[in-house]
A and B are shown apart, each in its own frame.
Chain A
Amino acid sequence: MSLAAILVTAIFTQNFILSKFLGICPFLGVSKKLNTATGMSLAVIFVMVLSTAVTYPINLLLKANDMEYLQTIVFILVIAALVQLVEIVLKKYIPSLYNSLGIYLPLITTNCAVLGVVLLNIDNGYNFIQSMFNSLGAGLGFLLAMVMFAGVRERLESCKVPKFLEGLPITLVAASLVSLSFLGFAGLVEGIFG
């Protein structure tokens, strides 16, 4: 698979939020405003790419010792440390973004999209460059979904919603419709690169 194909697959056809349903917590939690959604996505992209770069050699080490079963626990450890690092950096240099992200920043630790991309890289048997492109694509796909959904949420704010659907219910309905629209990208990669 070419690098461009991997990138497009990760962004559109296999979008982590809207097709694989990973990372729904920040998707629903931080998508209320466009600027926090963008900030959160940029932090996630950074963590995804960095954790892929770090976990790839670690995975080689585990493989050499026949210890693939340690993948999950070791990767969580590495991701947690990286998130802490991002938190320290943000607190120092971009305090406004740090304040607006609030609790969701430490929650990237348990964001399954990050662990998901790392594990899927290994499952798909990507080499280092391919893994990096896949995580970058996954992060960009996350950004795309967050920004799109933040727009939808802002429109929802000024809509007359029936009382029993107010708040989270209507958000979930909207999320499912946005996710459905991403089905339209099925077959895109085969069409362009195949």
Chain B
Amino acid sequence: MNPILLAVIIVSAIGLIAGIGLAIASIVMAVPVDKKAEEIREILPGANCGACGYSGCDGYASALSKGDETNTTLCLPGGDEASAEIARITGLAAGTVQPMAAVVRCQGIKRNCSTKLKYSGVRSCKMAAQLFGGPKECTYGCIGYGDCVEVCPYNAIHICDGVARINPLLCRACKMCVNSCPKNLIAMMPLHETKAEVLCVNKNKGSQTRKECRTGCIGCMKCVKVCEYDAIKVENFVAYVDYEKCTGCGKCVEGCPVGCVKLITLENNER
């Protein structure tokens, strides 16, 4: 037989056998694909941030399509648009997503909060926090080695003068930074609304806080007394604001002797 013809026959025969084998295998071991889940997955932003409480976009999509989850507003980065699209596919009710952005609750810049030790280990907040609570005098404040900068998928966080700062124009409220902070300093605040916020989480007594940081909350209760809406509370020597009650009148800001309460209006034109 012609050797070229034989070569062609051998190669195509092997190819055919392999092809048939694979076809049989793919039928025998077919994995059922969830069409609805794939469609929902296409709409979600794909950042896999976990803001919805699931392991990632895939997890949320499959929970929605199976009917385990009926809340369409859990995707914060996707916002209203994603909610409406999910509602269209699943037939569930669409909702409005309160647009949020992250804020670092610390003002411990170098001028306000001095350092107590010279740290020369791995540049990671988690590592540094294990050594006497970090290099700064205040063991509650921002360490400033940028664990949150590393995890932010939108490049919205920068370290300015030793403290992390989040750009609300870039923040998509995925909460990755919230989980990365060993000091639990990052809070989510509503966008487009003026709210008071206490930029300190120091739970030490006032006299101790005063020694550690010039703008630390000393728990003096002045803000609680001036607030007409009962929106600010002091627990463990540090004040907290209830955003639902806060109207942004600014009385607490005037009353604060250390300047740790600030009126914040986060703006983001895109959301």
A85 touches B122 (CB 8 A): no
Interface membership of A91, Cβ < 8 A: yes
Chain A hits for B6, CB < 8 A: 65, 67
A77 touches B21 (CB 8 A): no
Chain B hits for A158, CB < 8 A: 122, 124, 127
Q: Could you say which interface size class chain B belongs to?
A: 20 to 34
A88 touches B14 (CB 8 A): no
A61 touches B10 (CB 8 A): yes
B3 touches A81 (CB 8 A): no
Chain B hits for A91, CB < 8 A: 29, 31
CB within 8 A of A77: which of B7, B14, B26, B127? B14
A77 touches B122 (CB 8 A): no
**Central interface residue in B14, B25, B26, B31, by most chain A CB within 10 Å:** B14
Assuming the contacts A65-B6, A66-B3, A158-B122, asked whether A92 and B31 have C-beta atoms less than 8 A apart, the reply is: yes
List the A residue with the shortest CB-CB distance to B29. A92
* Minimum CB–CB distance for A168 against chain B, Å: 18
Interface membership of B15, Cβ < 8 A: yes
Chain A hits for B21, CB < 8 A: 81, 85
Assuming the contacts A58-B14, A78-B18, asked whether A85 and B25 have C-beta atoms less than 8 A apart, the reply is: yes
Within 8 A of A (CB), among B27-47: 29-31
A67 touches B31 (CB 8 A): no
A70 to B18, CA, bound (A): 17
A67 touches B3 (CB 8 A): yes
Chain A hits for B25, CB < 8 A: 85, 88-89
Q: B residues touching A (Cβ–Cβ < 8 Å)?
A: 3, 6-7, 10-11, 14-15, 18-19, 21-22, 25-26, 29-31, 122-124, 127
- 13 interchain pairs, CB-CB under 8 A: A61-B10, A62-B10, A65-B3, A66-B3, A67-B3, A67-B6, A70-B11, A78-B14, A81-B19, A84-B22, A89-B29, A95-B31, A160-B123
